[in-house]
Amino acid sequence: MDLALLDDTLAAAGEPAFRARQVWRWAANGAAGYDAMTDVPAGLRDRLRSEVPFSTLELVREAHASDGTVKALFHTHDGRAVEAVLMRYRDGRRSICVSSQSGCPLTCTFCATGTMKFGRNLTAAEILDQVLHFRRIEPVDHLVFMGMGEPMMNFGNVIAAARRLPDVGITHRRTGISTVGWVPGIRRLTETDLPIRLALSLHAPEDTLRSQIMPVNERYPLAEVLAACEAHYERRRRQVFIEYVMLAGVNDGYAQAVQLAQLLDPRIYKVNLIPYNPTDSVYDGSSRNAIDAFKAALEEHGLRATVRLTRGRDIDAACGQLAAKTAAA
Contact 243, 270 (CB under 8 A): no
Residue type for position 11:
A
φ/ψ of 22, rounded to 5, equals: -65, -50
Dump the DSSP string for 232-249.
HHHHH--PEEEEEEEBTT
Contact 172, 162 (CB under 8 A): yes
Closest CA to 278 of 239, 243, 319: 319
Q: Residue 83 catalytic?
A: yes
Closest CA to 134 of 190, 232, 52, 59: 59
Helix-helix angle 124-135:3-12, to 10 degrees: 100
The distance of Cα 72 from the centroid of its chain, to the nearest Å, equals 14
Catalytic residue from among 15, 83, 126, 243: 83
φ/ψ of 256, rounded to 5, equals: -70, -35
Catalytic residue from among 104, 111, 229, 319: 319
Bridge partners, 243 (sequence order): 201, 272
How far lies 208's CA from each of 44, 205, 249, 285, in Å? 60, 9, 15, 20
Q: Spell 75-102 as b/e; 16+ CB within 10 A means b.
A: bbeeebbbbbbbbbeeeeebbbbbbbbb
Question: Known catalytic residues?
Answer: 83, 319
